[in-house]
């Protein structure tokens, strides 16, 4: 019997040709050394995996195992946690497999390469996160296998050896080899405590790492002055000026920009010509002022395309979205001056409002609106709606059964309908009004100078720092466990749509948006960010290791706990329990878990193909 933690490897993309070639060359060298008898006795090979064995550290474990009553109580507590998590993982994998069967279109998260915690291979883990991930992985492996070793000595189970498993120079696992005879002689309770110890220590490290991260460390990180640039639209004035993602706009025409909220007002103050933009406090660029279209609805009521520049509304120059809406004001129809492919043109009588599609059957069609048509709503219940955001806000103040007037433009003609609002649950009929939203301003998305701002304060608030966490998740992050749950999704948070960018620690350029302050400021920005990244990934990886090892399937800890638990339950039944009965239960559960896991990864690709 051997307790082990191993990261499984799956097929990956051709972009790793050189890495795979290097591993192959490394492994050929290991084979040559083994055939010549040059490998030390403590180094063994298992396929492409190199294992390094040692007996050192057993004296330290014997000393640490002194307070046996405490460690047994700690391990019993861990057994309870492990069993609960095992049940949760069983349900999770089954649910994920059924979801994959019902949603054959694979998501980026389900790509096999994204199961691997390898920066540069997993698209959600950039190379800049490598130091933090390596630290987290090493800590996770050491405490996991150290926990097994500690409980072996507490339960008087001898240890043959301990060690690490390597793929080339990458540590991918660790192991403790209990003595077979003393392990078999141990009670089922002792074996269960030993197997549960690894995940218990992983969860304990997770709590410690996140407590330090959410407390003193993130409390020593503040938002740096300036507007944080998260993205730049292709062909936009910002791109032409040389502004890049991860830059901070610190001044425009010498006027300081303190935060994201200041950018629009400062751009407006710069006028409609060319402005000088200060970046990161140390360089300047010249930028032409205009408002680019970043996205447009197909068959939009406006003859406008992504890449067009909006120059003026009814002859008044505009350079920001706020300025555009201010220029529109209460006018439902305006003339727009745009630039396309270097040429100016005028779009006459453009309705400005919220574009929706009338449902086939709903309150709006019952009021007389033609089903399936695009409708630009410019007025709702007597209030002007310049964009879908305005309309959404007004809808929040209504109740089913209310009678409202919905007015706007349909096919170029102004129309008005008296609508009795339906139930909010009528999603198939377009909700309470009877339409499906399109979003934006008349089906168009615009962005100040083509800049997409990085919501620096929201990410900091989620991690426990001084910031403003907005959105439906705000109440979740008010508690420690809520923060932990949310942080688990940060590397893929843009996929689930809660925040616009994935977060892989204070690295990859976004550290430019933050600065050290308060208690740890004396250590400097680089040191504080390094500590934060190490804690972030240590907590993240340890909880992932704990969850993964609780899957009730061999050779994971959950599989061993399932075996001992099954033996314990069957021994209490009024029948003669046999090894075959235990094997049937564990095999059935293990195969179910394996099939669910593989189908979760490869099912969508197979069904889509």
Q: What is the pLDDT of residue 16?
A: 54
Q: What is the pLDDT of residue 323?
A: 92
Average pLDDT over residues 366-375: 88
CATH topology of domain 291-350: Pdz3 Domain (2.30.42)
Residue pLDDT, tens place only, 28-84:
887 787 778 777 777 777 666 777 777 777 788 889 888 999 999 999 999 999 999
Q: Are 544 and 551 in contact (CB under 8 A)?
A: no
Q: What is the pLDDT of residue 47?
A: 63
Q: What is the pLDDT of residue 67?
A: 92
In terms of Cα–Cα distance, which of 223, 234, 229 is closest to 247? 229
Average pLDDT over residues 81-103: 83
Q: Of all helices (H) and strands (E), which one includes residue 161? A: strand 159-167
Whether 111 has a pLDDT exceeding 70, the answer reads: no
Q: Are 46 and 157 in contact (CB under 8 A)?
A: no
Average pLDDT over residues 392-414: 88
Pairwise CA distance, residues 91 & 347, whole Å: 56
pLDDT band for position 13 (50/70/90)? Answer: very low
pLDDT band for position 137 (50/70/90)? Answer: confident
Residue pLDDT, tens place only, 304-359:
888 899 999 999 999 999 999 999 999 999 999 999 888 999 999 999 999 988 88
Pairwise CA distance, residues 59 & 54, whole Å: 12
| Percent share of the chain, pLDDT over 90 | 36
> CATH class for domain 353-440?
mainly beta
Q: Which of 29-33, 73-77, 93-97, 465-469 has the highest mean pLDDT?
A: 73-77
Residue pLDDT, tens place only, 152-210:
889 888 887 777 777 666 666 667 778 778 877 888 888 889 989 999 999 999 999 99
Q: Which of 11-15, 398-402, 579-583 has the highest mean pLDDT?
A: 398-402
Average pLDDT over residues 403-430: 81
Q: What is the pLDDT of residue 532?
A: 96
Pairwise CA distance, residues 582 & 566, whole Å: 6
Q: DSSP for 472-516? A: TTTTGGGSHHHHHHHHTTGGGTTTTTSSSS---SS-TTGGGGEEE
Pairwise CA distance, residues 75 & 81, whole Å: 10
Average pLDDT over residues 81-99: 85
Whether 217 has a pLDDT exceeding 90, the answer reads: yes
Q: What are the structure tokens assigned to 599, written together?
A: 């189908």
Burial of 416: CB neighbours in 10 Å, binned 0-12, 13-18, 19+: exposed
Whether 7 has a pLDDT exceeding 50, the answer reads: no
Give the number of other CB atoms < 10 A from CB of residue 259. 15
Whether 15 has a pLDDT exceeding 60, the answer reads: no
Q: What are the structure tokens assigned to 213, written together?
A: 């991260």
Task: Tell me the pLDDT of the chain averaged across its residues.
Answer: 84
Q: Are 257 and 263 in contact (CB under 8 A)?
A: yes
Helix (H, G, I), strand (E, B) or coil at 445: strand
Helix (H, G, I), strand (E, B) or coil at 190: helix
Domain boundaries in the chain?
Answer: 3-216+530-561, 234-289, 291-350, 353-440
Whether 471 has a pLDDT exceeding 60, the answer reads: no
Q: Of all helices (H) and strands (E), which one includes residue 163? A: strand 159-167
Pairwise CA distance, residues 13 & 119, whole Å: 14
Q: Are 225 and 457 in contact (CB under 8 A)?
A: no
Same fold, 234-289 and 291-350: yes
Four-way CATH pick for 234-289: 3.40.50.150, 3.30.2040.10, 2.30.42.10, 3.30.70.20: 2.30.42.10
Q: Are 285 and 242 in contact (CB under 8 A)?
A: yes
Strands 291-296 and 444-446: antiparallel
Pairwise CA distance, residues 270 & 317, whole Å: 12
129 alpha carbon, distance to own chain's centre: 14
Q: Are 16 and 170 in contact (CB under 8 A)?
A: no
| pTM of the complete model beyond 0.85 | no
Pairwise CA distance, residues 386 & 397, whole Å: 17
* Region of poorest pLDDT, from 15-19, 205-209, 438-442: 15-19
Whether 554 has a pLDDT exceeding 80, the answer reads: no
Whether 4 has a pLDDT exceeding 50, the answer reads: no
Average pLDDT over residues 290-299: 86
Q: What is the pLDDT of residue 312?
A: 92
80 vs 477, more confident: 80
Helix (H, G, I), strand (E, B) or coil at 219: helix
Q: What is the pLDDT of residue 465?
A: 78
Q: What is the pLDDT of residue 296?
A: 87
446 vs 498, more confident: 446
Pairwise CA distance, residues 59 & 43, whole Å: 21
Q: What is the pLDDT of residue 105?
A: 61
pLDDT band for position 450 (50/70/90)? Answer: very high
Q: What is the pLDDT of residue 118?
A: 66
Helix (H, G, I), strand (E, B) or coil at 412: coil
Average pLDDT over residues 447-452: 92
Residue pLDDT, tens place only, 520-538:
999 999 999 999 999 999 9
């Amino acid at each position: 019997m051997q307790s082990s933690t191993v990261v499984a490897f799956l097929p990956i993309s051709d972009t790793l040709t050189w890495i795979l070639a290097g591993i192959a060359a490394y492994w050929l060298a290991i084979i040559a050394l083994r055939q010549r008898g040059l490998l030390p006795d403590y180094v063994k090979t298992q396929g492409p995996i190199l294992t390094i064995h040692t007996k050192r550290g057993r004296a330290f474990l014997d000393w640490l195992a002194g307070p046996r009553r405490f460690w047994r109580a700690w391990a019993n507590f861990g057994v309870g946690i492990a069993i609960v998590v095992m049940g949760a993982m069983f349900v999770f994998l089954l649910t994920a497999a059924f979801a994959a069967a019902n949603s054959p279109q694979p998501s980026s998260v389900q790509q096999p390469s994204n199961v691997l915690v390898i920066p540069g291979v997993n698209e959600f883990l950039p190379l800049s996160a490598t130091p933090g991930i390596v630290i987290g992985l090493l800590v996770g492996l050491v405490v996991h296998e150290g926990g097994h070793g500690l409980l072996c000595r507490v339960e008087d189970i001898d240890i043959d050896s301990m060690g690490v498993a390597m793929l080339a120079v990458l540590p991918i696992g660790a192991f403790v080899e209990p003595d077979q005879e003393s392990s078999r002689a141990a009670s089922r309770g002792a074996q269960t405590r030993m197997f549960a110890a690894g995940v218990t220590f992983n969860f304990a490290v997770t709590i410690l790492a996140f407590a330090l991260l959410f407390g003193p460390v993130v409390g020593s990180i503040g938002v740096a002055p300036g507007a944080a640039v998260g993205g730049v639209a292709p062909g936009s004035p910002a791109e032409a000026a040389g502004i890049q993602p991860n830059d901070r706009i610190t001044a425009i025409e010498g006027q300081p920009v303190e935060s994201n909220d200041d950018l629009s007002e400062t751009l407006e103050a710069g006028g409609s010509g060319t402005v000088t933009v200060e970046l990161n406090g140390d360089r300047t660029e010249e930028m032409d002022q205009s408002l680019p279209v970043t996205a447009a609805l197909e068959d939009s009521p406006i003859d406008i395309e992504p890449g067009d520049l909006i120059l003026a509304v009814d002859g008044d120059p505009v350079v920001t979205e706020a300025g555009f809406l201010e220029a529109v004001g209460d006018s439902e129809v305006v003339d727009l001056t745009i630039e396309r492919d270097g040429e100016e043109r005028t779009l006459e009588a453009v309705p400005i409002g919220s574009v929706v599609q009338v449902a086939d059957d709903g309150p709006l069609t019952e009021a007389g609106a033609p089903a399936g048509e695009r409708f630009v709503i410019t007025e709702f219940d007597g209030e002007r709606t310049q964009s879908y955001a305005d309309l959404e806000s007004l809808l929040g103040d209504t109740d089913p059964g209310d009678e409202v007037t919905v007015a706007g433009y349909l096919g170029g003609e102004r129309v008005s309908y008296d609508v009795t609002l339906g139930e909010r649950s009528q999603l198939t009929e377009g909700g309470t009004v009877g339409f499906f939203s399109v979003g934006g301003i008349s089906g168009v998305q615009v962005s100040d100078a083509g800049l997409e701002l990085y919501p620096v304060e929201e990410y900091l608030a989620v991690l426990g720092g001084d910031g403003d966490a907005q959105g439906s998740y705000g109440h979740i992050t008010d508690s420690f466990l809520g923060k932990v749950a949310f942080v688990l999704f940060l590397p893929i948070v843009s996929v689930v749509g809660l925040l616009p960018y994935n977060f892989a620690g204070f690295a990859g350029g976004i550290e430019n948006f933050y600065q050290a302050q308060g208690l740890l400021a004396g250590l400097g920005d680089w040191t504080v960010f390094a500590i934060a990244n190490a804690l972030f990934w240590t907590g993240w990886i340890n909880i992932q290791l704990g969850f993964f090892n609780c899957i009730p399937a061999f050779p994971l800890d959950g599989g061993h706990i399932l075996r001992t638990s099954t033996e314990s339950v069957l021994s209490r039944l009024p029948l003669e329990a046999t090894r075959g009965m235990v094997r049937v239960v564990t095999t059935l559960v293990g195969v179910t878990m394996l099939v669910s896991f593989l189908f979760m990864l490869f099912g969508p690709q197979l069904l889509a193909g």
